[in-house]
Structure formats: structure tokens, C-alpha cells
Chain A
Amino acid sequence: MRRIAFSIAAALALVLFTATTGCRPDDTRPDTDTTAVFDTDTLVSDTLGTGVWETDTVMTSTDTLQMHQDMLRDVFYGFDSSELSAAAMDSLMHDASYIMANRGFRVLLEGHCDERGTIEYNLALGERRAQAAYDYLVEYGVSPSRLQTVSYGKERPFAEGHTEAAWAKNRRVHLRVLPGI
């Protein structure tokens, strides 16, 4: 029942979207050295991603979302830092390619911190981490319309415990798959 309701909602969303824009969105955007100003969300640039059938997007099920979720890699950060390490960039490159090659979902970039910082400052720091991942993905070519950021600070840790191992797991940007285009 829920799946049918969801399919109807997704179909409606697609119809609405087609009616308002007339074409499907593209994950790519112009190179940064292009001088003209473009609406980066709707323009098709010369670097093309893998094509998919529009009907594919209607069939998004929770199973499919879970499959996408399993394919994405989280990004880890150093203590008190929102800088991307080489390993973090590798993960994000993989994520960017995957997001651009597959449709029917959006990604919420959740910034997380370890407990060795204060709650309020960490809430703001987590936003910086999420934004660093966001900037990298968009720079790589992912459409901003498929991304969203949020910071959880240290309010929703992945690993419980008070060891460096737990802290390292909690200094991350988690890529959470959401239903969408």
C-alpha cells in the first residue's frame, strides 16, 4: 500500500516536473572557466553523464534507495577540522560518479562531530564539514538540486563510546539517500 502511494506521488512529481521545466535535470554543469553565466541546474554541458530512461525514476522503491545507500561511502575528517583528506576526496569522487550515474534519489549530507567539543560550536562545525563535501561534489559535477546539507553536531553519534576509535567514526559526513529526482 505504501509502495503504491509512493509510486503515485513519484509519478505526480515527475508529471509536475516535466510540465514546469520540459526536460529532466542534468548532473553536469559548465566548466568553471566558462565566462558566460548559466543557470547551472538546468543547462546541459559538454561533459555528459550516463543516460537513463525517465521511467526508471518512477520505479524508485525503498529497496532501490537502500541499494543506493549501500553504494555510497561516508567521508571522514580529522580532529576539529573540516578539511578534506586525500582519502576523503577519493570517497567523494566515488560518490559523485555514482550519484551522477544513477537517478531517482537525492542525497542529504549530514555533518557529524565527535564528543570532544561543545554542543553549540559543534552544531556549527558540522555544517562546515557538510558544506566541504557539498562543494566537492558540486565541483565534480553533481547537480546542487540533488544535494542537501544538515549538521548534527555531536547530537547523533554513529559510534557510542569514549575512545579515539569511536571519535574517528563520529567525525564524518554521512551521505543519506533520500527519495527524489
Chain B
Amino acid sequence: MVRKATRLILCAALLAAGAAAEDFLPMTPMDTDRVPVRLTVEGRGETARRAREQLEMDVSLSGLLREAGEDEEYAAAEVMVSRMAGAVSLAAEVRAGGELLLDRSYRGSSVYPLVHALTDDMVYVLTGERGIASTRIAYVCRSGRSYSLVVKSLDPREGQRVLSDSDVITTPAWGPDGNRIALTSYRSESADLYLYDLSAGRATQLLAGGGLYTSPAWSPDGSSIAFTRSRDSNSDIYLLDVAGGEARRLTARPSIETAADFSPNGQQMIFTSDRLGFPQLYTMDSAGGSAVRLTGVHRYMDSPAWSPAGDRIAYTARVGGDFHIFVMDADGSNVRQVTFEGSLNENPVWSPTGRHLAFSSDRGGERAVYVLELSGLEVIRLSGAGECYLPTWSPLPPLGDERHTERTVRR
């Protein structure tokens, strides 16, 4: 009888979370729709303190869970942190309404990936949705004439400089296979396309010669890359088969066409065009063809990003003399501003679950990369000291039985 009641409460909570997911982009915070979890982290020393702090941050950034207040208890997570022979171990139990939903231990050399894995498991058992705690974000950092591609996890660990050069690295795009990042490099006095292989640690040239190649965007199946070719004062969008072959031209106008991004089913593209004399957003069939202008709300719009569910478009627009991030429905309606600080907010990219945006902003003085959780409009700074911009979000790690029955997490 008690168990049955518990199930009912659980169902109600899941329904509430589901309803919140329908409209997770309000203009005012709606933290009350998150599932409250009481967090108890035990263990001694610095490692336990870090685990506690990171778990709080992961839960807060999830947008789906929140730390429970004093007098409320729906779900509870008890985590025991220990250190043995140089390895960190987390033993976690997650209960909701008295029922044990997760009993798992995580072991690895650093505490952070373990907390991320635990948070993502917790999000999954409590809401049925995927979490983003284990994902990573890559971006470009510049220091004078030195450029780097940096890969950063969502925690205080320093970002890893995976690629550095004395010439421009720009417009990185993380591929759907999770292992390759397409980018533009100026190392041969022109803008060429490269593929950086994360596991091999090597950048190989994909396309060079006959113009400038920038702004690569992966098709959702990872088979092709849309990009911008600039030459003779003109910029157009082309499509390249990653396996090889000739690039195919998708737009053919004297105006600037650039910054293409695919719809999640791969059948459409959104891009920037200044055919009216100023940059606006258009959609077209991925095979090319006629384009439709989405909205005339702003006079200067660029860097569109199609949400993973296909329902929304994030972009940069000029308001007054400043640039801010906006989100609209995929048909151009329901335009909402989501950044309000700084004067240069740029290049929004969606998290793979569509609940967050990463973007660059000068709100802290220099340009840095920030992550915005959309239901609470909570913003955290991701990149450390130095000028960093052009974020690109990794895909989710594969969800399989293996990942959720694996008792040891390595990194």
C-alpha cells in the first residue's frame, strides 16, 4: 500500500518534470518545476569537499533537478567519497519516496568525471531524461598571435589545449561521432578546412585552395559538412562529403551566404544571408534551392543554431550597439532575448539535450565562454583566464545498458 502510494508520487513528479520540459524557456525562472533532491556527501578531506561542490553545481546546471530545501523531501542522494591507492571512489545511493532507484559505485583517478557520471545517472533515474554533466565544450582561445583549440569539461579542471598555432584557428564544429572537430585554420596564408581527430591527436587538411573555407557545420548523420566558401568578394554555402569527392554549391548569389546549420533531421538548413543589404536568417532545403526568410525582428542577425529537438533557433542579433543572444521558434515566431549583460554576446550553440546554450560574452571584460541553463536562466563562466570564444558542444556519450551497468568509471 505504501509502495503503491510511493509510485503514484513518483509518477506525479515525473509528469511535472515532463510538463516543465514542454516549456523550458520561460522569461522568468521556474525552478519549482525541478525535481528536489536532498544531497548528502560524506567523506573526509579535499576530495569529498570537491565532490560535494561539483555535485551541487551539476545538479543546479542540470535544469531538471535542484537541491531540496530543509522541509521538503522527494528524492535523496547519499554519496560516500573515499580515496584508496590513488583512486577516488564514490558509492552512491539514490532514493525517491523510500524506493532505491540507484545503487552504484564509481571509481577513477579524478573525482570530477565520477560526479558527472553520477549526476547524469541521477537525472536519468529521476526524470527519464539525459543529463549533460559528462559532456564537454570546445572553443578557441587567443593570446596575441597564438591560437588554441581548448576542450573543457563542465568543472573547475583547466581546459586542455588540444591544438595550438601561431596563426588563426576559427569556427570549430564538434562532429556527431564525438571524436572529430572540423575547423578553419589560416596556417597556409588562406582559410582551409581541417578535421581534428581527438583520439589520434592530429589535424588533417580536408579542403584547401580556390578560396577561403570557414564555418563548417556537420550534417546530423556525420556524413557531410556544410561550409562557407569566400572568393572574389562573394561568399556562398557548399556541401562536402566527408568521405571525399567534390564540394557541391548550395547557394549561388552575389550576396554573402554563410553560417549554415542543419536541422536535426538533416533535411533543412538555416543560414545567414545579406541579400537584402543586411544579414538576416533564412532556411532552405539541405539539397539547396529557394530560401525563406525567418523573421524581420532584427536588422543584424548571424550565427544561427538549430535546437536538437528542431523546435527552436538560437542566434546573435544586434540591439542598439550591442549584440545579444536570442531564441525563437523554428518558424520565426516567439522571439525571446536570453542574454542581458555585456555588449558582445555571440555564437550560441545548444547542449545536446537542448536545455542549455553555450556562447561567448564580454560581460566579464575579455571575451569568455559561458553556459546558460534555459529554465532558470542561470549563467556560469566556463573558460578560465584569457580571451576565449566560438564554443562547440560535444554530443552526448552513448546511452546503452553498458554505460548504466558499468560500475567503474575511468577517464
Contacts of B190 in A (CB 8 A): 150
What is the 8 Å Cβ interface bit string for chain B, positions 309-330, against chain A (1 contact, 0 not)? 0000000100001010000000
Cβ-defined contact, B212 with A156, below 8 A: no
Cβ-defined contact, A123 with B212, below 8 A: yes
Known: A118-B303, A132-B233, A150-B191. A124 touches B171 (CB 8 A): no
Contacts of A119 in B (CB 8 A): 170-171, 303, 346-347, 389-390
Among residues 152 to 170 in chain A, which have CB atoms less than 8 Å away from a CB atom of chain B? 152-153, 155-156, 162
A179 vs B256: C-alpha distance in the bound complex, in angstroms?
31
Known: A119-B389, A120-B214. A125 touches B171 (CB 8 A): no
Distance from A119 Cβ to chain B, minimum over Cβ atoms (Å): 6
Cβ-defined contact, A121 with B279, below 8 A: yes
Cβ-defined contact, B228 with A120, below 8 A: yes
A115 vs B258: C-alpha distance in the bound complex, in angstroms?
18
Cβ-defined contact, B170 with A123, below 8 A: yes
Question: Is B235 part of the contact surface with A, judged by Cβ < 8 Å?
Answer: yes
Distance from A69 Cβ to chain B, minimum over Cβ atoms (Å): 15
Question: Is A116 part of the contact surface with B, judged by Cβ < 8 Å?
Answer: yes
Please give the number of chain B residues whose Cβ is less than 8 angstroms from any Cβ of chain A in the complex.
Answer: 37
For residue B233, which residue of chain A has the nearest CB?
A: A131
A120 vs B170: C-alpha distance in the bound complex, in angstroms?
9
What is the 8 Å Cβ interface bit string for chain A, positions 89-115, against chain B (1 contact, 0 not)? 000000000000000000010000001
Question: Is A171 part of the contact surface with B, judged by Cβ < 8 Å?
Answer: no
Cβ-defined contact, A156 with B145, below 8 A: yes
Which of B170, B231, B234, B302 lies in contact with A121, CB distance below 8 A?
B302
Question: Is A26 part of the contact surface with B, judged by Cβ < 8 Å?
Answer: no
For residue A157, which residue of chain B has the nearest CB?
A: B142
Question: Is B240 part of the contact surface with A, judged by Cβ < 8 Å?
Answer: no
Contacts of B402 in A (CB 8 A): none
Known: A119-B346, A127-B212, A150-B191. A156 touches B168 (CB 8 A): yes
Contacts of A127 in B (CB 8 A): 212, 230-231, 233-235
Which of B214, B231, B274, B346 lies in contact with A123, CB distance below 8 A?
B214
Cβ-defined contact, A150 with B303, below 8 A: no
**5 new A-B contacts at CB < 8 Å, known A123-B191, A125-B256, A151-B191:** A120-B258, A120-B303, A150-B189, A155-B168, A178-B189
Q: Which residues of B contact A (CB under 8 A)?
A: 142, 145, 168, 170-171, 186, 189-191, 212, 214-215, 228, 230-235, 256, 258-259, 272, 274, 279, 300, 302-303, 316, 321, 323, 344, 346-347, 362, 389-390
Leading 10 A-B pairs by shortest Cβ distance: A131-B233, A118-B302, A124-B235, A120-B259, A124-B256, A127-B230, A121-B302, A155-B168, A123-B214, A128-B233
Could you list some 22 contacts between A and B, CB below 8 A?
A: A116-B321, A118-B279, A118-B302, A119-B303, A119-B347, A119-B389, A119-B390, A121-B258, A121-B274, A123-B170, A123-B171, A123-B212, A123-B258, A124-B235, A127-B212, A132-B233, A150-B186, A150-B190, A155-B168, A156-B168, A156-B186, A162-B362
